[in-house]
Amino acid sequence: MKHLLSAADLSRDEAVLILDTAAELAAVTDRSVKKLPTLRGLTVVNLFFEDSTRTRISFEVAAKRLSADVINFAAKGSSVSKGESLKDTALTLEAMGADAVVIRHQASGAPHRLATSGWIGGSVVNAGDGTHEHPTQALLDAFTLRRHLRDGAGDLAGLRVAIVGDILHSRVARSNVLLLQTLGADVTLIAPPTLMPFGVESWPCRFSYDIDAVLPDVDAVMMLRVQAERMQAAYFPSSLEYSRMYGLDSRRMAMLPEHAIVMHPGPMNRGMEISADVADSPRAVMVEQVTNGVNVRMAVLYLLLGGRQEETR
Amino acid sequence: MSATVLRGVRPYGEDPVDIVIADGVIVDLVAPGSGDGEVIDADGLIALPGFVDVHTHLREPGREDAETVRTGSQAAALGGFTCVHAMANTSPVADTAGVVEQVWRLGQEAGLVDVRPVGAVTVGLEGQRMAELGAMAESAARVRMFSDDGKCVHDAVLMRRALEYVKAFDGVVAQHAQEPRLTENAQMNEGELSGRLGLAGWPAVAEEAIIARDVLLAQHVGSRLHVCHVSTAGSVEVVRWAKSKGINVTAEVTPHHLLLTEELVATYDPIYKVNPPLRRAEDVEALRAALADGTIDAIATDHAPHPREDKDCEWAAAAMGMLGLETAFSIALDTMVRPGLLSWRELAQRMSAAPARIGRVATQGHDLVVGAVANIAVVDPSASRVVSGADLASKSSNTPYAGMELPGRVVHTLFAGTPTVRDGALA
């Protein structure tokens, strides 16, 4: 594996290997000296064309714990905001010797362009592209699901997961559908019809417009951020109506089976897709998702770059 | 003036003859080897009337970095064209007699094809006020086709008035059918694939709804409508229905919509980004069938040159459009003639006679008969070539066919009797 562009790039065994590796690396996170020498001498560039403090920091911590040199290249306050093209930015990073580029970009497919255009020689990790994919988010979600519901081992065969919210614009949903399906889980997407992607019927999952009908039969529910601005474009009439019909409040949480967990990729819109008492309840695993994000990203960087470091020695 | 002889050529693929040309006109069709004059060897090759493109972007004035009237004319001649219609979305926009005359004059100076400027329907392509269509029609450029191509004349009242107004000088409004609200920020055909790729969809209904409205408007006011780059099976159905009702509508299809499908977008390579977008295989099938049965009247290239930097980027940032002039014949051969959907005579209709009639170009689109203006494309259907952007005469290289082996070759092009292309190179 040279790049991680899409969750669809991962076979079941590759995905499980990443999760197993993340579990091993999690042990490091628990030590007092949280550092491994694995990627010493390698350079990881965080190339962020979109603001995302949490994802960038997660990748930065992951790379640093593996002793890689980290360069943060944010679009704001850089040459990118002066109109430099993706190509020239890539050529610059290549000239500086980037071994891996972690890219977040507002345009769907930008990581593919970076990986296939010949502009750079290093590995490309998709840290979220437009409304396309966010594969490391799906990996950390799978890791979290496995830890809570599958004793932290193997795949997710038979696990029932509902993903609720703005599926249409969600790269998290796309990557999760692909990855969770690869791992054997049974995914149901829930959204008003206006926020469901065109052609969802042919996706490898179920879909429903009725959250109440689905919740009693799932092992986990993943709530997605819904931007209130969507109502300006007539996706739904009001925030109130959205939260009444699709928001997760304590009444709905009570419909979930006893063992089911509540997830959210963050940042949350409290009062919109999730109520404060649900967000703060013991069933909500958002804080743990963040921790798992670091471990999973360490595993991805390790598996993409570990071999490369052997070569340089 | 001495005579020129196209020796041993087969008009429409039929029996070989010598075509004798003098003073820009076909003066004789005689037995092979018997014509007298300067000989151009065309033994066994096929002669067709010079191709006429009703949809070309020559980019001049304003974007001479992408194409000029001269380089676009060269590309056209090499593609077997003897006439192109230069779209109005230049900078400044071709919305006045001054600009259309400038483009027309540049075409005359290049002297390789008839460059027929298309006038903008609305001032600055803004869709607000009608441009001076009458002044453009009366100018030296004699504009007959008007289009805001690149943008849709979406205001129903403005469209109605434009359709009515051009009746005074036998003009036609060529509509870029794209409902703007349904296609805000649209990146590719809306379907299962756009959902998966996370690219904003351009739904077929946004094209079909405008065509449906416009054929009804054309019927209501008794005017002439031309539909640019029809791209969906549904649009074909609407046009077919309109023609069955006797509505005066014509339609064009691009070579790329006859060959390429949306699956190519999965590469995220913006070379495949075009407007209207590449559609499904079912649409391609419907477009071929419609071109075969005459529902679609003409092949039009929508030749859209863009400089490298406008394609060498991420998908969303890239410009829409692809080159077409130098590959149109090969695509038509591949998709229509070889599968038996069009005979050579029918292809001549679709690539020459019909587009000349749509644009009201009296000197183009003639049959290869004595007395006709000698606008002739001589082609070799048995040849083939691997396309390379760098080999094209166009100033830009944004061809989606790079690396593909395409059948057929334009060997000679004669423009009003004068060879503009000989043996596949500019004369």
Do both B396 and B305 map to the same domain?
Answer: no
- CB A108 to CB B315 under 8 A? yes
Round to whole Å and give the CA distance between B336 and B351: 12
Q: Is A116 exposed, middle or buried (0-12, 13-18, 19+ CB in 10 A)?
A: middle
Round to whole Å and give the CA distance between B243 and B181: 28
CATH code: domain of residue B282: 3.20.20.140
Query: Torsion angle of alpha carbons B311, B314, B318, B321, nearest 10°?
Result: 60
Do both B20 and B95 map to the same domain?
Answer: no
In a domain, residue B207? The reply is yes
Do both B309 and B394 map to the same domain?
Answer: no
Do both B411 and B290 map to the same domain?
Answer: no
In a domain, residue B61? The reply is yes
Round to whole Å and give the CA distance between B139 and B112: 21
Do both B287 and B399 map to the same domain?
Answer: no
Do both B324 and B388 map to the same domain?
Answer: no
A303 neighbors A1 (Cβ within 8 angstroms): yes
The pLDDT of residue B419: 98
B383's enclosing H/E stretch is strand B376-386
The pLDDT of residue B333: 98
The pLDDT of residue A52: 86
Do both B250 and B145 map to the same domain?
Answer: yes
Amino acid letter, B113: V
- CB B315 to CB A202 under 8 A? no
Q: Which residues pair with B201 in a beta bridge?
A: B188
Residues 6+ apart with CB under 8 A from B317: A85, A86, A107, B270
Residue A155 tokens, joined: 């795949």
Do both B30 and B90 map to the same domain?
Answer: no
Q: Is B307 exposed, middle or buried (0-12, 13-18, 19+ CB in 10 A)?
A: middle
pLDDT tens, position by position, for chain B (427 residues)? 589 999 999 999 999 999 999 999 999 999 999 999 999 999 999 999 999 999 999 999 999 999 999 999 999 999 999 999 999 999 999 999 999 999 999 999 999 999 999 999 999 999 999 999 999 999 999 999 999 999 999 999 999 999 999 999 999 999 999 999 999 999 999 999 999 999 999 999 999 999 999 999 999 999 999 999 999 999 999 999 999 999 999 999 999 999 999 999 999 999 999 999 999 999 999 999 999 999 999 999 999 999 999 999 999 999 999 999 999 999 999 999 999 999 999 999 999 999 999 999 999 999 999 999 999 999 999 999 999 999 999 999 999 999 999 999 999 999 999 999 999 999 9
Domain endpoint, select from B298, B333, B358: B358
Domain endpoint, select from B311, B330, B358: B358
Residues B345-353: contacts with CB within 8 Å, 24+ apart? B345/B12, B346/B292, B347/B48, B348/B12, B348/B48, B348/B49, B350/B291, B350/B296, B350/B297, B350/B298, B350/B299, B351/B48, B351/B51, B351/B52, B351/B298, B351/B299, B352/B48, B352/B49, B352/B50, B352/B51, B352/B52, B353/B49
In a domain, residue B132? The reply is yes
DSSP state of A197: P
The pLDDT of residue A313: 42
In a domain, residue B413? The reply is yes
Round to whole Å and give the CA distance between A78 and A71: 13
Q: What ipTM did this prediction achieve?
A: 0.92
* Chain A CB contacts of B203 below 8 Å: 198
Query: How many residues are present in chain B?
Result: 427
Indicate which of A91, A103, A112 best probes the interface with B, i.e. most B CBs within 10 Å of its own CB: A112
Q: Which residues pair with A73 in a beta bridge?
A: A47
Domain endpoint, select from B358, B389, B416: B358
Name the residue in chain B with its Cα closest to that of A111.
B314
In a domain, residue B262? The reply is yes
Q: All domains of chain A, ordered by start, with CATH? A: 7-133+290-312 (3.40.50.1370), 135-285 (3.40.50.1370)
Residue span of the structural domain in which B382 resides: 4-46+373-426
In a domain, residue B81? The reply is yes
Tell me which residue in A110, A174, A203 faces B314 most closely, judged by beta carbons: A110
Do both B223 and B277 map to the same domain?
Answer: yes
Within 10 angstroms of residue B259's Cβ, the number of other Cβ atoms is 21
pLDDT tens, position by position, for chain A (313 residues)? 899 999 999 999 999 999 999 999 998 777 777 789 999 999 999 999 988 889 999 999 999 999 999 999 887 655 555 567 899 999 999 998 999 999 999 999 999 999 999 999 999 999 999 999 999 999 999 999 999 999 999 999 999 999 999 999 999 999 999 999 999 999 999 999 999 999 999 999 999 999 999 999 999 999 999 987 777 788 999 999 999 999 999 999 999 999 999 999 999 999 999 999 999 999 999 999 999 999 999 999 999 998 665 554 4
Do both B421 and B341 map to the same domain?
Answer: no
Indicate which of B183, B192, B196 best probes the interface with A, i.e. most A CBs within 10 Å of its own CB: B196
* Chain B CB contacts of A205 below 8 Å: none
Q: Which residues pair with A48 in a beta bridge?
A: A74, A104
Do both B342 and B263 map to the same domain?
Answer: yes
Round to whole Å and give the CA distance between B82 and B374: 10
User: Min CA distance, A23 vs chain B (Å)?
Assistant: 30
**DSSP conformation letters of A3-34:** -B--GGG--HHHHHHHHHHHHHHHHHHTSSS-
- CB B195 to CB A199 under 8 A? yes
The pLDDT of residue A27: 84
CATH code: domain of residue B415: 2.30.40.10
Looking at the 3D structure of chain B, how many domains does it have? 2
In a domain, residue B341? The reply is yes
A-to-B residue pairs, Cβ atoms closer than 8 angstroms: 77
Residue A165 tokens, joined: 């919210």
In a domain, residue B368? The reply is no
B287 neighbors B230 (Cβ within 8 angstroms): yes
Looking up tokens 């791209």, which residue turns up? B231
A174 neighbors B198 (Cβ within 8 angstroms): yes
Do both B79 and B136 map to the same domain?
Answer: yes
